[in-house]
Amino acid sequence: MTFNPLQEKGIPLEKQIRTWHDIVKRPFNKYEVDCYSRTRQILMNGIEVEAWNFKHNFARNCADSDVSKIIAHSRRIEDMQQTTVNWLTPACQTVLETTLGYEQVAVDLTAWLAQNEPDDYVRETFNFGLLEDFDHLYRYSQWAYMMDGIDPNEILQGMTDVVVSRPTQNHHNDNGLRLRKHYDKFTADPQTKVNIYTLVSGEQQTHNFYAEHGMMYPNDDLRRTYGEICDVEEEHVTMYESLIDPTESPYEKLLLHEFTEVCNYYNCYKDEKDEKLKQVWEEFMGFELGHLQIASELFKQYENRDPEEVIGDKVVLPCHFESQKEYVTDILENEIDKRLSAGDKKGYTTIDKLPDDWESYKVQEKVGLEGAPTEQTIQLIKTSINRDIVSADEKLIHKQPDLIKRGLEIMAQAPNTLDYEDYKEMDKVDIMEF
Ligand SMILES: [Fe+2]
Ligand SMILES: [Fe+2]
Ligand SMILES: [Fe+2]
Ligand SMILES: [Fe+2]
């Protein structure tokens, strides 16, 4: 089924205030929840945080008190929705378990978006970020084993691989280099806009989660690992948000935010097997259709334009979750040595073509001077059980030494870097059976 969200009335705003009992629901069972129900819940929390935060920024720049009033009402609803969605997380789900969920979202969502992205340059950017989150998943999986004693598949359920990717110490770039070319608001496909708005929300929430929770562990190496990866997520927000046309007006952005929420809830509702969660996605899709009506009226009134010019006439699917192992392996094997090109080209290159004065080397030399926490992570697990925690097809696991040979920069390496020889040594040890 496909439908035109602009033709739907949805649930009117005045019917969207709920009781505290309805706002704060029973959490899911972390032992029984499907991994992709959890990824939906993690993503939709990020979508709601962005919706709420955007409306505060809108209000801070809005001189029209009638409009500010309308925004204030719907902003409260976004906040209540955020509470409902995020607090479905059970208290017993540890920070590291939730973290594995966040990186599973990043990997499998980005892979889906890349394959459904009509713009080649945007797709290339998605693939570039994909490999970085894939490496974060590998690093955090070591910690989940060391701190919580769990197999990463207790969270990932075998749907997402865990192997080394472009090493995290190589993700630290000059933040100016991260800026990409933006789409053209008049010609970009609505799917492109929704894809980017969705991913920005997810990455921003990942950043916020690490920033707010990395200090909850007493272990310094783990705290530093969260600090290091949190900073990469900041780079990801910088990179993905720069794809958005900055000349979109506030009303156009409001319209796009509500449309993004409608599309994401629709996709969640369509895919969800858990009855209780499905009800939440359905109800909130109704709320968002109500918000879209309001945004669309404001857009017509203040911009004198037709909302269809911006969002088209049909819903798009920005968050279908399924195993993406084949796609991710393909990108991993072909693009692990990809890097941001120097200067103002805003393109991509490979390690062998980087100039000696590449801007990002300066950042990497500085932050890694006393060692990279994400390398220390592998040093620790190697010392403890002689090899790393991985989960993938045997063939892919045995490719780790070669992957690291191609994916690791020669310049600006942290002193505790594991190289080809270290991975060769680990490869001799049987993979742990959990
Ligand atoms: Fe919302
Ligand atoms: Fe990540
Ligand atoms: Fe990320
Ligand atoms: Fe909304």
Distance from residue 114's CA to the centre of ligand 2 (Å): 16
Q: Is the confidence at residue 434, as pLDDT, over 60?
A: no
- CA–CA dist 383, 287 (Å, integer): 52
Contacts of 201 (CB under 8 A, 6+ apart): 43, 46, 47, 49, 50, 260
Structural tokens at position 5: 């969200």
Ligand nearest to the CA of 199: 3
Q: Under a CB-based contact definition with an 8 Å cutoff, are residues 11 and 293 in contact?
A: no
Ligand nearest to the CA of 258: 4
Average pLDDT of span 411-420? 97
Distance from residue 391's CA to the centre of ligand 2 (Å): 18
Distance from residue 105's CA to the centre of ligand 2 (Å): 9
Tell me how far CA of residue 7 lies from CA of 10, 139, 191, in angstroms.
Answer: 9, 46, 18
pLDDT tens digit sequence for 349-364: 999 999 999 999 999 9
Spell out which residues have Cβ within 5 A of ligand 1, the ion.
48, 51, 78, 81, 261
pLDDT tens digit sequence for 210-229: 999 999 999 999 999 999 99
Tell me how far CA of residue 13 lies from CA of 8, 17, 265, in angstroms.
Answer: 14, 8, 17
Structural tokens at position 65: 């008190």
Ligand nearest to the CA of 55: 4
- Residue 431: pLDDT band with limits 50, 70, 90: confident
Tell me how far CA of residue 337 lies from CA of 116, 135, 171, in angstroms.
Answer: 24, 13, 11
- Residue 190: pLDDT band with limits 50, 70, 90: very high
pLDDT for the residue numbered 223: 98
Q: Is the confidence at residue 311, as pLDDT, over 60?
A: yes
pLDDT tens digit sequence for 290-308: 999 999 999 999 999 999 9
DSSP H helices, 185-274, are: 190-213, 220-241, 250-271
Distance from residue 16's CA to the centre of ligand 4 (Å): 11
Contacts of 102 (CB under 8 A, 6+ apart): 42, 205, 206, 209
Element (H, E) at 411: none
What is the SS3 assignment for 340? strand
pLDDT tens digit sequence for 227-255: 999 999 999 999 999 999 999 999 999 99
Of 91, 78, 71, nearest to 46 by C-alpha is: 78
Ligand nearest to the CA of 78: 1
Contacts of 336 (CB under 8 A, 6+ apart): 131, 165, 166, 403, 406, 407
Ligand nearest to the CA of 79: 1
Q: Under a CB-based contact definition with an 8 Å cutoff, are residues 388 and 139 in contact?
A: no
Distance from residue 371's CA to the centre of ligand 1 (Å): 42
Distance from residue 352's CA to the centre of ligand 1 (Å): 45
- Count of alpha carbons within 13 angstroms of residue 36, beta-carbon side: 19
Domain boundaries, the chain: 5-325, 328-427
Tell me how far CA of residue 31 lies from CA of 155, 157, 211, in angstroms.
Answer: 9, 11, 26
Instruction: Give the CA-trace dihedral at 365, 370, 374, 376, to 10 degrees.
Output: 140
What is the SS3 assignment for 392? coil
Distance from residue 96's CA to the centre of ligand 1 (Å): 27
Distance from residue 51's CA to the centre of ligand 1 (Å): 6
Q: Is the confidence at residue 407, as pLDDT, over 90?
A: yes
Distance from residue 401's CA to the centre of ligand 2 (Å): 22
- Residue 257: pLDDT band with limits 50, 70, 90: very high
Ligand nearest to the CA of 49: 1
Cβ burial, residue 7 (10 Å; 0-12/13-18/19+): exposed
pLDDT for the residue numbered 336: 98
Tell me how far CA of residue 53 lies from CA of 49, 56, 234, 297, in angstroms.
Answer: 6, 5, 16, 21
Ligand nearest to the CA of 201: 3
pLDDT tens digit sequence for 40-74: 999 999 999 999 999 999 999 999 999 999 999 99
Q: Is the confidence at residue 95, as pLDDT, over 60?
A: yes
Q: Is the confidence at residue 1, as pLDDT, over 90?
A: no
